[in-house]
Amino acid sequence: MLDIAQYDQINPPYRLLMGPGPVNADPRITRSMAAPLIGQFDPVMTDYMNQTMALYRDIFKTTNQQTFVIDGTARAGIEAVLMSTIRPNDKVLIPVFGRFGLLLCEIAKRCRAEIYTIEMPWGQVFSPDMIEDAIKKVKPRLLLCVQGDTSTTMLQPLDEIGQICRRHGVISYVDATASIIGNPLEVDKWQLDGVSVSLQKCFSGPPGVAPITLHDNMVELIQKRKCVESGIRRDDEVDGSDEMIYSNYFDLDMIMRYWGAERINHHTEATSMLFAARESARIVLQEGLDNAIARHQINGKAMLAGLQAMDLEIFGDVSHKMNNVVGVIKPKNIDDAQLRNLMLSDFAIEIGSSFGPLKGNVWRIGTMGYNARKDCVMQTLTAFEAVLNKLGHKTKYGEALQAAWNCYSADK
C-alpha cells in the first residue's frame, strides 16, 4: 500500500533558468493561473477567449481572424497546424539548420507527407535565394520553417520568405516558439500563412499552451477537410471536399469553430493556461512589443560581450544569432556536465547543453522573457566565470562584467 507520508507538498528549489527555455515565469502570470476556474461556456470565459484572440493579433502583428491558442506545449501547436494542413502524399519542403527543422521533418513524416529538405551546417542559415531555388525545383504544397532554432541559436531571416511562397503558390508555416518577442516577427508584413509559438521562452510564461495564427489561405485548406465528430454534429452538417484531418484533438477546423461564434463543444478549454496566455500577451503589450524586443537585444548583447571577454569562442554565425540565446563552444579542458552541475549546485543557475553534433560541445545561455534583465545577466556571468576558473579555464577577473557594463552604458 502506498505510504502517502513519503509524498510531501510540491516545493521545488529556486533556480535561475538561464538556458534556452523554459525560463522563470513572471510572477504576474503565475498569479493569474491561481484565479478561480469557471465553466468553458460561461460568458466571462468566452469573453476572456475573445480578449486573448485580440491580444495575440497584436503580438503576431496580424489581422488574422483565426488567432487563438492550442492547449498543449509548443509541439501541440506545431502538430495542430501540420496535422490539419498536410494530407497524405502532399509535398512539403523543410529547410533544416538545426534540431527543430528535423522535428518538423519528424512530424511531417507522421502526417505521411512526401518530404523534401535542404540543409545548412548547424550554425548557419539560408539565404532567400536558396529557399526560392528549392521551391522552384520541388514545387511543394507547403514550406515548413523554423525562425529561431535554439539548438544552434540561429535566427533564420523570414522577411522575404512569405512573399516567395505566395509568388509560387506555396503555403508557408513557421515555428517561432523560441524567437517571438525576443526578435522581430511580422506575420502580415512578411506574408506568412501560419505561425505557432509557445509561452515558456520570451513570453515569460509556463509551457502548456501554444498560440497560433492562420491566414485565410491556410484556413481555406483546413476547412476543406471539415469532418465534425458525430456527437456534436448538426443534422445539416456537410463534410469538406478534401481528405479528413487524421486527428480529433488537433483538428483545427473544429477548434476554430470552438473559438468562433458556433462555440462547438470540441474540448474543455485549459482554463488556467488560458489565463496565463492572456496575461503573457497583456504584459508584453503593456511594455510595448518593440520595447520588449529591444530589451532582449541589449541583454543578449551584454551577455555575448561578457562571454567573449572570458576568451570563449561563440558558436555559429554571430550576425544571425538570436537576441535571446547564445551558444558557447566548450573549452577542451572543461567537462560539460561538471560545469553545468556546479552552476546548478553552487549558484542555483541552470544553463543548457545542446543536441546532436553539438551535444557536450556547446553550452546554450539564454536571456529570455522575465530573465532578460541586467541583474540576471550579471549574476550568470559572475557564476560562469567563477566555475570556469575553478575548472581550469583562466580568465582576467572582472573583464566579463566590465564588458557587459560597457554594453549597458552604451545603450543609454
Where is the binding site for substrate, in residues? 364
Strand pairing report for 16-17 and 349-350: parallel
Nearest alpha carbon to residue 202 among 19, 368, 17, 18: 368
List strand residue ranges (DSSP E) for 270-379, in order: 325-329, 349-350, 362-366
**Amino acid present at 378:** M
DSSP structure class, residue 12: P
Between CA 241 and CA 253 the distance in angstroms is 13
Cell of 108: 511531417
Q: What 3-state DSSP class applies to 239?
A: coil
Residue 9 amino acid letter: Q
Residue 52 · residue 196 · CB < 8 Å = no
| Residue-wise DSSP of 116-185 | EEEE--TT----HHHHHHHHHHH--SEEEEESEETTTTEE---TTHHHHHHHTT-EEEEE-TTTBTTB--
Parallel, antiparallel, or unpaired for β 66-71 and 209-214?
Answer: antiparallel
Enter the C-alpha cell of residue 198: 509557445
Binding residues: 364
Which residues, 6 or more positions from 119, have their beta carbon under 8 angstroms from its beta carbon?
95, 96, 97
Burial class (CB in 10 A: 0-12, 13-18, 19+), 253: buried
**CA dihedral angle for residue 266, residue 272, residue 275, residue 280, rounded to 10 degrees:** -110
